[in-house]
Amino acid sequence: MLVPYHHAYPIGCIALFVALVLSAATSLRGASRAIEVVGVALHVPFSCPTWFAGRLWLLRLGYYKLTRPKVHADDWVWIVDHTVQLGDDKCLVILGLRLCDLPSAERCLSHADVEPLELVPVKKSNGQVVYQQLEQAVAKTGVPREIISDHGTDLKAGIEKFCQQHPQTSALYDIKHKTAAVLKRELDQDADWNTFTQLANQTKHRVQQTALAALAPPNQKTKARYLNVDVLVTWGQKMLTFLDAPQAAQEPTFDRELVQEKLGWVTGFRSQLEEWGELFAIIAAAESFVRHVLVVQLNGTECVFYVHFFFEGQEFLD
């Protein structure tokens, strides 16, 4: 067994711990216990690593990936965002991917496809700060071909200034945040939608500690809620199907009169749920198209295609 210098565990054990966390989505303590079980079963001649030791391995691996030299090229794509603020601090994160390394159109981009380029802690961020951070990142990869972001105020301002200084760089709006902005514009002022979400929230609190808890609406997020509102509409559509079913076909566990009393209000939104379902279907199709077909090879050159889609005659995306 090969044990790295200044380490107490062999490379195979370290690799197994890292794989359990990164590939199998196991917690640090879960990975430690899994190795212990395997070690006992196979009678391995070393003790089980603690979760703390595993965390140090992951930190070292992450630091290496962040600081190792990157290839300078003109086909880098940067994915830029801020982490959630913790106290006074947050971090600007830049992930990179070369267009020549894009996965095939059959699958979406995954965590393993991207390379960490920058992790910059800041206490205050604005357009000028973001611009300076982007300029510093150029030293690692060269000027990128594209920068993708969620169009946060400071990110958008900084990226626009960067693109003015580097005309070869294009700024792209992340498709998920773009469609969320579309939904917000369409639904925020919709009285029926606001009434539906309020009733769903009230119903959630009324039935979660009762025999109808299994029928409760999903939790609604207070921040970035338009990124996940489709689950609420899906719940409403399933509830309509349940309420429309003959009594003999319904689950006998639930009292029919109580279901009508607590959840019967959903039937008043039948036409709206159908309309909202069509809207989400269009958005899902647009997101899938952009994620799989956005960049294609044409005579050896990457060409970006921008998608338009319509709902009731209104143009949504450009």
Inform me whether the pLDDT recorded for 162 exceeds 50.
yes
- What pTM was computed for the model? 0.74
Pairwise pLDDT comparison (4 vs 29), residue with the higher score:
29
- Crossing angle of helices 256-263 and 191-207, in 10° steps, is 140
Token pair belonging to 107: 């699958």
Q: What is the secondary structure of 240-269 as a DSSP string? A: HHHHHS-GGGS-TTS-HHHHHHHHGGGGGG
Q: How is the chain split into domains, by residue range?
A: 11-67, 76-172, 174-318
**pLDDT tens digits for range 38-93:** 888 888 777 789 999 999 999 999 999 999 999 999 999 999 999 888 888 899 99
Average pLDDT of the segment spanning 298-317: 40
Instruction: State the Cα–Cα distance between residues 209 and 192, nearest whole angstrom.
Output: 27
| CB of 82 closer than 8 Å to CB of 152 | yes
Contacts of 213 (CB under 8 A, 6+ apart): 207
| CB of 181 closer than 8 Å to CB of 297 | no
Half-sphere exposure (CA, 13 Å, Cβ side) for 244? 10
Strands 295-298 and 301-304: antiparallel
Averaged pLDDT of the chain: 84
Instruction: State the Cα–Cα distance between residues 260 and 207, nearest whole angstrom.
Output: 12
CB count, 10 Å around CB of 68?
A: 9
**pLDDT tens digits for range 171-222:** 988 888 888 888 888 888 899 999 999 999 999 999 888 888 889 999 887 6
Indicate the DSSP class of residue 9.
S
Token pair belonging to 226: 């338009």
Strands 170-173 and 146-149: parallel
Nearest in space to 44 (alpha carbons), one of 4, 7, 16, 13 = 13
Range 76-172 has CATH code 3.30.420.10: yes
Q: For residue 313, is it left (φ>0), alpha (ψ between -120 and 50) or beta?
A: left
Pairwise pLDDT comparison (214 vs 289), residue with the higher score:
214
Percent helix, percent strand, percent coil in the chain, to nearest 5: 55, 15, 30
Asked which of 135-149, 183-197, 281-295 is least confident by mean pLDDT, the reply is 281-295
**pLDDT tens digits for range 254-283:** 888 888 899 999 999 999 999 999 988 988
